[in-house]
Structure 1
Amino acid sequence: MTVLDTRPAQAPAPPAPYKWRWPALAVVLAGSVMELLDATVTNVAGPTMRADLGGGTSLIQWLGAAYTLAMTAGLLTGGRLGDIVGRKRMFLIGVVGFTVGSLLCALAASPETIIAARVVQGLFGAAMIPQGMGLMKEMFPPKELAVAMGMFGPVMGLSAVGGPILAGALTGVDWRLIFLINLPIGTAAALAALRFLPPSRPVKGVRLDLPGAALASAGTVLMVFPLVQGRESGWPAWAFAMMAASAAVFAVFAAHEKRRARRGGDPLVAPSLFGKRAFVSGMATGTIYFAAFTGFFLVIGLYTQLGLGYSPLKAALTSVPSSLGMIAGMGVAQAARRHGRKVLLAGAVVMGLGVTGVIAVASPGVSPWQLAPALLVAGLGSGLIMSPYFSIVMAAVEPQETGSASGALTALQQVGGALGLALLGTLYFGTGSVAITLWVAAGMIAATFAVGLMLPKQARED
């Protein structure tokens, strides 16, 4: 007699997690740390580099702006290239290229060559960084992914504290060491990536929007270049013409993206996002905040070294309270994340108080200890803003728009940083007044609060 088995079929067991996922995570973290350090080291080393290489004061701004502009251009296509050619391959290309760019920075003998080398670093950094999230999602099961993601905070926090100190110490010996230190780190990361990163298959049917990337990059350069270079040239007519042209180029970019979406292509930014008031206000909030954040810390580095005569190491140590405050702010924001937008708005108030505190104590004989409380408060406010920002803005988008929205916000972070370096750096060199410059930064933070009122009240729950 035949007996029928009526028990429900068992679901197939999930595939075993990738064997080398934790060493692979260390590789991804190493790449992120290397990129983070080189994004900020010139805030400390810039005055020394200019004294050695020559050039105008705008060189100090270009050391950061060239990197962030190149990073912006690369981020627009870096993630898609990972889908097309494979994330492991793009990560390797990014690490190797970034390491070569670091060597070129160390060998630079003129302002032109160092700026070109910083562009190389930014482009290859943009090829490397977007692959990390995709690789982590491939390697880790859902229960471990949150743990892996949680490791980024402490590692990035330690980098934020230790990076400027290391840059100050190395600059006191020879500024070229801040780039040469990347050679052993990059070489080790590349070899470890070959061994531990999982092979990833290209995604079929994905195409690059090269015209869109070119238009967005051109619009950004047309906006930032005259802000940095216009002052030294006496604000000629071409500076204002370029800024006007940037608006026209961005209008062409928006029209191109809409046309590409209608034809069934893959736009860099989903046009539907621009119909969402909350997302548009999120883009405005991020641009203003990251401009204020990046510009503020550039001005602090310039003020302590050029205004107060601090050594690079002393200037770097002076900035440590702001980094510690930022770490604390991120921790508080995580604990209070259920309050959503209120945390971000509170951060803008706190950061504004910190900036005005710096203005209040700034004087020819001010000591690092006198600056420390205000810098700590400014850093605390920054952490309260930065921690919930992306998840709050992403609450305004639909699931199918997530990839496009995330890429747009990341690129916009770089654009805001470049604008801050250009605007506040130019204002500081033009007026020679740290108070005037920081009052403008405080006004930008107040604008962050005002525009932030239009953000979604709660962050997206992942």
Structure 2
Amino acid sequence: MTSIDTSVHASPAEATPYRWRWAALFVILAAEVMDLLDAMVTNIASPAIRAELGGSAAVIQWLGAAYTLSMAVGLLTGGRLGDIFGRKRMFVIGAVGFTAGSLLCGLAQGPETLIAARVVQGLFGAVMIPQGLGMIKEMFPPKEMQKAFGLFGPIMGLSTVAGPILAGWLVDADFFGTGWRMIFLINLPLGLAAVLAGMRYLPESRSPHPLKLDVPGVFLASLAGVLIIYPLVQGREHDWPAWSFLMIGAAVVVFALFGWFQGRKSRNGGDPLVVPSLFRKRAFTGGLVTGIVFFSGMVGFSLVFNLYVQIGLGYSTLKAGLSMMPWSIGLVIGFICSQPLQKFGRKLLQGGALLMALGVIGIIVTLNIAGVGVTPWQLTPALLLTGVGMGLLMAPFFDIVLAGVEPHETGSASGSLTAVQQLGSAFGVALLGTLFFGMLGTNVAAASDDVTPRLRADLAAVQVTGPAQDRLVEGLRACGHDRAVAKDQAEAPASCVRLEADARAAAASPQAGQAVGKALETAGTTAAKEGFSQAMKAILWVVDGMLLLTFLVAFLLPRHAREGDAAGH
């Protein structure tokens, strides 16, 4: 995350390259894989986690947002800790803390404990991850640098493909009765191996001219992030009270205060988290906006899609993970195809955004044609196309944004962009998750009206007519709505309890009671699936709008990345 002056180390590296550099690179890549997987796994496992631990819909959003928000905050200063105290030391400390956080996640007995453990994971991950870049630049001679950085793409691509499948398999396999806990407990041997291998193979490394820590800056950035994410997640559950809007307004004020403080610190000769001159560059500010919009849309979509197929359509955790595989494969294909197309620069990025938008429309069309019986195979073409577009967009993004940045600003700019990527992820989970859950009740109730004619016919067939039939029809609508918006899924809403009582009262015989129960169950299941599908399609239109906005905002970016700068990031 921090800029390293490779010219200082070039000659010694060429003369005597670090002996264990390839083993050290493997350790660094292993840490990247752990971080990437843990950012993704709760999207797959969240329905299973909530089913066991309980809690409101906000728990599902916080499982992802707590990790990415704490990661975003930590990344702003994680690289500097390595520059000051030594990169090997901070890597090992980060790996130990990340592993401990994983253990706390695996042992959590309540949603609040699990969310707190996710914060621990994110903070220590932000200490661990940035150290790799500086060590790679010091370990490898210039002729091997490109090859070392070139390994990141395939490893990240493989993790993207395997992550959802691995998470789904671990939850479904239920090893030793651990269920969803194994997605975190599997980090224990991996983390321990990273710690031991890091102590053995990583070189001692620190910056000869480290920047000082900016603790007040970190506090202001953290406060601003919490002030905007918390009300987006919790506000819906409290019917959007005044404090939720006050917090969002306060977030804007704190962000402005953060900018003023960074400028003041720079003018006084200090070391701000973000070099203020960056905000005067159209490419950088455009890159921040583009990054927030794009990553918000993609990570938010990933969460909502998994909720839709698991809770709405009844897919198993493994089936849900496999359903996302075409997206992940498309992402890898897009990365590969982007390599000979880098000369198109910004046009490649914008083309990827439009291709993604087309893929998202393809998902909407598929859902309209296939209905609530949609299968993973039917979703495959549209998801594959969306993934290819995402790969084409992401491949040139960082280099294009950094094209307008001066060399002495690169460290601050790249660290800020990575933090914005994580902040955008947290924002997307909060925003799209809130929109999705907010629409469910209304959509399920509307879908209940659609199944009413069939329900009335089934009820009439067992001599349920008149006021009794009306009560059951209205009760099904109320029960579907209340169950969709229930804060505690383990507790049956009062309307559902009344519906069961009305069903028993309406049946003239035990045989009729079974028929009435079956009719209500069939109608309720169909209405729930249709309600989830309508909410999903509405979210997809929002995502499409965010992709079109990404396309438009990208005009702020330079046309091309700097020549010969690919290895520098």
Alignment TM-score, normalising by the size of structure 2: 0.78
- Give the corresponding residue for 2:487: none
Give 1:57's aligned amino acid: A
Shift in Å, 1:205:
5.3
- Give the corresponding residue for 1:268: 273
1:315 aligns with 2:349: no
State the distance in 1 between where 2:85 and 2:169 align.
Answer: 40
Shift in Å, 1:93:
0.6
What are the within-5 Å matches in structure 2 for residues 19-418 of structure 1? 19-172=19-172, 173=174, 174-201=179-206, 203-204=208-209, 206-362=211-367, 363-418=371-426
State the distance in 2 between where 1:37 and 1:151 align.
Answer: 17
Q: Is the 8 A contact 1:65 1:421 kept in 2?
A: yes
State the distance in 2 between where 1:318 and 1:179 align.
Answer: 22
Give 2:285's aligned amino acid: V
State the distance in 1 between where 2:186 and 2:12 align.
Answer: 48
State the distance in 2 between where 1:196 and 1:446 align.
Answer: 46
State the distance in 2 between where 1:12 and 1:419 align.
Answer: 44
State the distance in 2 between where 1:454 and 1:170 align.
Answer: 43
Give 1:445's aligned amino acid: L
Give 2:335's aligned amino acid: M
- Give the corresponding residue for 1:446: 548
State the distance in 1 between where 2:436 and 2:249 align.
Answer: 24
Shift in Å, 1:15:
2.8
Shift in Å, 1:206:
2.6
| Residue in structure 2 matching 1:456, options 558, 561, 564 | 558
Q: Is the 8 A contact 2:14 2:142 kept in 1?
A: no
Shift in Å, 1:203:
3.8
Give 2:342's aligned amino acid: R
SS in 2 for 1:336: helix
State the distance in 1 between where 2:145 and 2:195 align.
Answer: 23
Give 1:372's aligned amino acid: T
Alignment TM-score, normalising by the size of structure 1: 0.96
- Give the corresponding residue for 1:6: none
Q: Is the 8 A contact 1:67 1:122 kept in 2?
A: yes
Structure ID, larger Rg: 2
State the distance in 2 between where 1:12 and 1:52 align.
Answer: 56
Q: Which stretch shows the higher mean deviation, 132-141 or 357-366?
A: 357-366
Shift in Å, 1:60:
0.6
Shift in Å, 1:201:
3.7
Shift in Å, 1:250:
0.5
Q: Is the 8 A contact 2:13 2:140 kept in 1?
A: no
State the distance in 1 between where 2:54 and 2:426 align.
Answer: 22
State the distance in 2 between where 1:208 and 1:68 align.
Answer: 21
Shift in Å, 1:202:
5.3
State the distance in 1 between where 2:285 and 2:209 align.
Answer: 31
| CA offset digits 1:37-56 (Å, max 9, x no partner) | 00000010000000000000
Give 2:56's aligned amino acid: G
Give 1:447's aligned amino acid: L
Structure 1 unaligned blocks of 5 or more: 1-10
Give 2:546's aligned amino acid: M
State the distance in 2 between where 1:422 and 1:383 align.
Answer: 24
State the distance in 2 between where 1:115 and 1:13 align.
Answer: 43
**Residues 12, 319 of structure 1: alpha-carbon distance in 2 compared, 3 angstrom cutoff:** closer
Give 1:374's aligned amino acid: A
CA RMSD of aligned residues (A): 1.2
State the distance in 1 between where 2:360 and 2:85 align.
Answer: 45
Shift in Å, 1:163:
1.0
**Residues 205, 315 of structure 1: alpha-carbon distance in 2 compared, 3 angstrom cutoff:** closer
Q: Is the 8 A contact 2:82 2:206 kept in 1?
A: no
SS in 1 for 2:15: coil
| CA offset digits 1:406-458 (Å, max 9, x no partner) | 11101100111011000111111111210111111110111000100121000
SS in 2 for 1:175: helix
Give 2:340's aligned amino acid: A
**Residues 350, 12 of structure 1: alpha-carbon distance in 2 compared, 3 angstrom cutoff:** closer
Q: Is the 8 A contact 2:14 2:141 kept in 1?
A: no
State the distance in 2 between where 1:411 and 1:163 align.
Answer: 22
State the distance in 2 between where 1:211 and 1:217 align.
Answer: 10
| CA offset digits 1:203-246 (Å, max 9, x no partner) | 45531011011101110110111111111111111100000000
| CA offset digits 1:77-125 (Å, max 9, x no partner) | 1011010100000100111100000000000000100000000000000
Shift in Å, 1:14:
4.2
Structure 2 unaligned blocks of 5 or more: 1-10, 441-534
Q: Is the 8 A contact 1:85 1:202 kept in 2?
A: no
Q: Which stretch shows the higher mean deviation, 100-109 or 300-309?
A: 300-309
Give 1:325's aligned amino acid: G
Give 1:225's aligned amino acid: Y
Segments ≥4 residues shifted beyond 3 Å: 11-14, 201-205
State the distance in 2 between where 1:318 and 1:392 align.
Answer: 32
